[in-house]
Structure 1
Amino acid sequence: MNPPSPAIVTQSAVSPLPRWALLLLCLAYLVPGFVGRQPWKSADITAFGYMLELASGRTEWLSPLLGGMPPETDGLLPYWLGAWALQASPGWLVPEMAARLPFLGLLVVTLVATWYGVYYLARSPGAQPVAFAFGGEAAPADYARAIADGALLALLACLGLAQLSHEITSYLVQLACTALLFFAVAAMPYRTWAPAIALVAGSLGLTLAGAPAVAALLAVGSVLIAIIAPVQGPREHRLAWAWAICAVALVAAGIAWGLDLWRWRVAVAGAGGKEWQSLARLFLWFGWPAWPLALWTLWRWRRQIADRPGHRHLLLPLWFSAISVATTILTQPSDRALLLGLPALAALAAFALPTLSRSVGALIDWFTLLFFTVSALAIWVIWIAMQTGVPAKPAANVAKLAPGFVPEFSMLAFATALAATAGWCALVWWRASRSRAPIWKSMVLPAGGAVLGWLLLLTLWLPLLDYARSYVPQIHAVKAALGTAPGCVQTVGLSRAQVAALQHHGQLALQRAGLQDECDWLIADIAAWPASERMVNTSLWEPVATIPRPTDKNDHLLVFRRAGPAR
């Protein structure tokens, strides 16, 4: 006998979130970060550099090089997507925006796949709320729609999603493909073609994006869940899907083998304790506020988890979340690995919503209201200080942290930020004006606050963020030191990001030191100088300038000119 569901939900509690409001919220989250900004240091500009090299035909598609260096990540699919977009883009579209268009689509795929995946999980018999003796319980389709709305809001509210989901790196591709796999396994009992396409695209995409081991582990758990946690339907149907998952996983593994994508990247945190403290902080803020609700789900639905058959709505997101947590602990970079678990974490959080008491919901609302209102107020105050010099202390702090920064005023950015702030005030008034019945109500303020903060940062603070996080100020100073028409420039010890920035922002023809000896100029990273005599004869070069990144005391480029005539 299955234990009773902890969800007690009436039909009035599953009224749908207005589609226009949900779409507007997603649009406000999607556009900032993809439109109008410079490539940021360092994964963002590095990936963009490889895309430019591929699109221009200066390197091989199966073994791309940037400044003579191969990518740090093995997955080539992200570079291909950006390069194809660059080649297909019209001339009036700036390269940065052209390369971002496929990744904008991938973030849309992530949001849509998460919504539909949770929707089909909530249609499972084990996920349904308690049936009332005299009727009035929530209808299955309406209940599933409300839970899916709550999951999408929880995903948007996760603090760790914002920056990483707007960078054109392999990790966004992996996130979208993980969400596709999640949707495929969730929808298998109800649909055929859409889950099949998502299964193939997700498995192959995750493999080609550099995560074949994650794809294999997710496939193993998905096969087990398809067998031991079925929904109503013939056994042959469940076995057919299990065999399909195995077949696709084997094909993906074969492709990974053929492209030499299998790597052993285990990097356990050291015994000193600092790495574990850093991991603890990462877990604390990255998935906030979804992870506390996910833990609450595991507690309230614990009997259903123990009674495995019929409760795939818990086992599937739990497996995907567990794989993400394990890879976060065992691999680097940790935050990129944890990113892949956010859709599943949001799904678990959504199933906590029908079990929350009124007092817990009120606590979430008040904490969220205070946190995001204070954060938005701080963003506005600092922006006003940058524009006017008043208050003096925030203006002085900005001048200290970003020396040389000249504030800019944009009417479009100001109007957008003002409209977003007015929308936040209206949302707070709506939430506080009366007792709202829908079960997704507790996620409205967290999602709205996260979107507000992200939008304000990428409108009011965009010039400051570009100044602090991009290479543009430093490269402009390098260009000034080189003068007009410098010709070829030798490089020593530059990172991939620095090479990409010099080639894109500076439009410089770079040559690695030792490959030829005809350049009049040399640029070196300060950490790599004095260079080895085998790379370059230091006596032939006279220093011209030392150029720092304004916001990083440890990032300096040295500019040298040949002491004698070029050979």
Structure 2
Amino acid sequence: MHQPSPAIVSQDGVRRLPRWGLLLFCVIYALAGFFWRDPWKRDDITSFGYMLELAQGNGNWLNPGLLGESAHFNALLPYWLGAWAIQCAPAWITPSLAVRLVFAALLFLTMLATWYAVYYLARSRRAQPVSFAFGGEAKPADYARAVADGGILALLACLGLAQPAHETAPALVQLCSAALLLFGLAALPYRARLAAAVGSLGMLGLTLSGAPTIAVLLGTLGLLVHGTGHATDWVATHSEYEQTAQELQRLRRRRWCGLMGIVTLLLLSAVLASWLDLWRWRIDPPPMRWVPWRNWIRMHLWFCWPVWPFTLWTLWGWRHQWRQALPSRHIALPLGMIFISTLGTLLTNRNDTLLLLALPAYAALAAFALPTFRRSVGAFVDWFSLILFSLAGSYIWFVWIAAVTGVPERPAARVYRMLEGFTPRFKWGMFLLGLLATLAWGALVRWRTMRLRPAIWKSMILPAGGVGMCWVLLTSLWLPALNYTKSYVPVARSISHMMGAEQHMPACVQVYALEDAQITALMYYSKLPLTRNKAASCPWLLTHEKTLPILPHVFDMQQWQQQGVVRRPGDKNDAIAVFARTTHTSPNARNSSEAGKDDSHSASTAVNASTNADTSANAASGAASASSATP
């Protein structure tokens, strides 16, 4: 026996959100944060380095890397897309801008796929609202469209989406692929050919972007949901037409063809991952201590805000639909996707990346909470969003004014202390962008507080608009300061000036124990000829400051003299030590010296790995503090 739907929606409550407004908001959100900045540390500039190596013909397309070493993350498709963008871009477009344009398009494609995924989930028979005794209930297509509008607003309201979605890293390609796969699985009973094409892109995209295990698990989820459901679920999706026995039999055959297509795609993804050697097992569960679990809970609470409270409301309101032996697919598909991603965050150390893949599913479940809201709940969401984001926007303006004018003195002094070496300046372009975003927020609040006809997506307008306003303010008013703390340009310029590369470019520069992000910055901004080859007789040596204690075990330090240490603004632990060669030994002497160091080098490998791990941890901590720092 099917339980009645908790959604009671009239035709008047599913009026369409203005298309021009929704499209404009999505475009602004997708573009804000991609322009007027340098590639930022870590994943952003590291991935850009791999793309640049492929575009310049210096890397292996099946094994991307930097200076002869493989990439730290076993992804292919993100680096291919970036390399193709660099190669196809005209001369007046810089390589970094060419890559960002492609990834901005991927973010917009993610929004589009999420909208259609929610739309087709809402078309499910058991997702439809209650039919009224005398008519007037929402039509299926109009209801699905209104729920999908709420779903895309819920996705854009997620706090955890903002920064990862605006980086040219594999995480964005994985997010787009996950949204496409959810779209394909949701549309399978309606548009079989379109679903097959979109689902194939999503599953193969996940496989080629470093997540073959997630691809196989999500494909298996779709197989279970569609395979264990009632055959009448597929028939009921076409219930607006009178069905004959032949038509029912044809729809059942279509269902089995769809299931066989999912199985074929699963096998293809597994074979492709094996052929390209993309399977990597990163099982690293957190220790059974309170602190790691507390951090894990905190990350989930802020990363998925504000959609996780809506998701809990959906699970409670639609509890009769998903607690059955054969749960409704509009609940089972996104809930299973969230479960897989959450389980992945527990078993691996890729918490933010895997949680990012669950945001389209969170948005889908949050959208189904909107038809069940009472008026008091919607009013609470509106007032909470109004107060929260108005205060957040005011704080961003207050800190920016203090930094630019020096008034008030105490906040300004704090900003100057945190941004040592950076001088905030007034820029008309950034100011006008921030002003327009603030005025748009005010207009949105005024429009929302007016007496309007009911619409189920209205409760998501202010949360999404508030997050969008704050993101535009951060990427306009605060962008110069954020770019200063997250960019490697000051480091690259300081090292180039220390070497005198502007007047005389050295023949080669040897690097040891540097991160790929640092190497990319030095190659891209300083054009230094870097090499990892220890046998090269280079006049300069660059290494991480934390490796100084083990350098005598790797190099003959009598030949080197330290010239200084260059630290990246915003993270004092991210420091590069610069050495100049004082003497030039003969090739025979150098070879014998290198042979004598082989044993000591192998003995110091473990020390070097530990040092690099500490460096990465400290740098990550610095990144978190820098991102929360005010400009």
- What's the TM-score, normalizing by structure 2? 0.88
Q: Are residues 1:502 and 2:519 paired? A: no
Q: Are residues 1:405 and 2:422 paired? A: yes
Q: Cα distance, 1:257 vs. partner?
A: 0.5
Q: Cα distance, 1:267 vs. partner?
A: 1.0
Counterpart in the other structure of 1:152: 152
Q: Deviations over 1:4-54 (max 9, x none)?
A: 100001111111110011011111101112222111111110000001111
The amino acid across from 1:232 in the alignment is W
The amino acid across from 2:514 in the alignment is L
Of 531, 536, 539, the residue aligned with 1:511 is 531
Q: Deviations over 1:56-97 (max 9, x none)?
A: 011211122213321111111111110011001000001111
The amino acid across from 2:328 in the alignment is H
Counterpart in the other structure of 1:84: 84
Q: Are residues 1:564 and 2:566 paired? A: no
Q: Distance in 1 between matches of 2:585 and 2:100?
A: 40
Contact 1:221/1:319 (8 A) holds in 2: yes
Counterpart in the other structure of 2:513: 493
The amino acid across from 1:277 in the alignment is R
Counterpart in the other structure of 1:441: 458
Q: Deviations over 1:463-517 (max 9, x none)?
A: 1011011111122211121113241111121011111111112211111251312
Q: Are residues 1:57 and 2:60 paired? A: no
Q: Cα distance, 1:394 vs. partner?
A: 2.1
Instruction: Give the share of equivalent positions with the same residue, in percent.
Output: 49
Q: Cα distance, 1:449 vs. partner?
A: 0.6
Counterpart in the other structure of 2:129: 129
Name the stretch that deviates more: 478-487 or 53-62: 478-487
Q: Distance in 1 between matches of 2:136 and 2:80?
A: 53
The amino acid across from 1:290 in the alignment is V
Counterpart in the other structure of 2:540: 521
Of 377, 399, 405, the residue aligned with 1:360 is 377
Q: Distance in 2 between matches of 1:550 and 1:310?
A: 53
Contact 2:192/2:258 (8 A) holds in 1: no
Counterpart in the other structure of 1:327: 344
Cα RMSD, aligned residues only: 1.4
Q: Distance in 1 between matches of 2:516 and 2:527?
A: 15
Q: Deviations over 1:139-186 (max 9, x none)?
A: 111110000000000000000001101111111111111111100010
- Moved beyond 6 Å, runs of 4+: none
Which residues of 2 match residues 237-256 of structure 1 at below 5 A?
Answer: 237-256=254-273
Q: Distance in 2 between matches of 1:414 and 1:229?
A: 55
Counterpart in the other structure of 1:539: 558
Q: Distance in 2 between matches of 1:428 and 1:259?
A: 51
Contact 1:493/1:527 (8 A) holds in 2: no
Q: Cα distance, 1:414 vs. partner?
A: 1.3
Contact 1:520/1:566 (8 A) holds in 2: no
Counterpart in the other structure of 2:619: none
Q: Distance in 1 between matches of 2:406 and 2:205?
A: 49
Contact 1:67/1:496 (8 A) holds in 2: no
Q: Distance in 2 between matches of 1:261 and 1:128?
A: 41
Change (3 A) 1:515 1:81: farther
Counterpart in the other structure of 2:67: 67
Q: Are residues 1:415 and 2:438 paired? A: no
Q: Are residues 1:374 and 2:391 paired? A: yes
Q: Distance in 1 between matches of 2:585 and 2:522?
A: 22
Contact 1:228/1:308 (8 A) holds in 2: no
Q: Cα distance, 1:436 vs. partner?
A: 4.6
Change (3 A) 1:447 1:414: same
Counterpart in the other structure of 2:217: 217
Which residues of 2 match residues 72-471 of structure 1 at below 5 A?
Answer: 72-229=72-229, 231-233=233-235, 234-307=251-324, 309=326, 311-471=328-488
Larger of the two Rg values belongs to structure: 2
Q: Cα distance, 1:566 vs. partner?
A: 7.5
Q: Cα distance, 1:424 vs. partner?
A: 0.2
Q: Distance in 1 between matches of 2:109 and 2:348?
A: 26
Q: Distance in 2 between matches of 1:453 and 1:49?
A: 30
Q: Which runs of 5+ in 1 are unaligned?
A: none
The amino acid across from 1:552 in the alignment is D
How many residue pairs get matched?
Answer: 566
Q: Which runs of 5+ in 2 are unaligned?
A: 236-250, 587-631
Q: Distance in 2 between matches of 1:158 and 1:308?
A: 32
The amino acid across from 2:256 in the alignment is L
Q: Distance in 2 between matches of 1:148 and 1:400?
A: 46
Contact 2:234/2:252 (8 A) holds in 1: no
Q: Deviations over 1:382-404 (max 9, x none)?
A: 11112111122221111111100
Q: Distance in 2 between matches of 1:292 and 1:162?
A: 19
Contact 1:222/1:316 (8 A) holds in 2: yes
Q: Distance in 2 between matches of 1:448 and 1:126?
A: 31
Q: Cα distance, 1:309 vs. partner?
A: 4.4
Counterpart in the other structure of 2:616: none
Q: Distance in 2 between matches of 1:219 and 1:135?
A: 39
- What's the TM-score, normalizing by structure 1? 0.98
